[in-house]
Amino acid sequence: YGNVSSVDERHRHRYEVNPDMVSQLESAGLSFVGKDETGCRMEIVELASHPFFIGVQFHPEFKSRPGKPSPLFS
- Residue 42 DSSP class: E
Q: Go through 5-17 and write b for each residue having 16 or more CB atoms within 10 A of its CB, e for each that does not.
A: eeeebeeeeeeeb
Q: Could you read off the pLDDT of 6-46 as tens digits, one per residue?
A: 888 877 767 889 989 999 999 999 999 988 888 888 988 99
Residues with Cβ within 8 Å of 32's Cβ and at least 6 positions away in sequence, in order, are: 17, 22, 25, 26, 42, 44, 45
Global pTM? 0.78
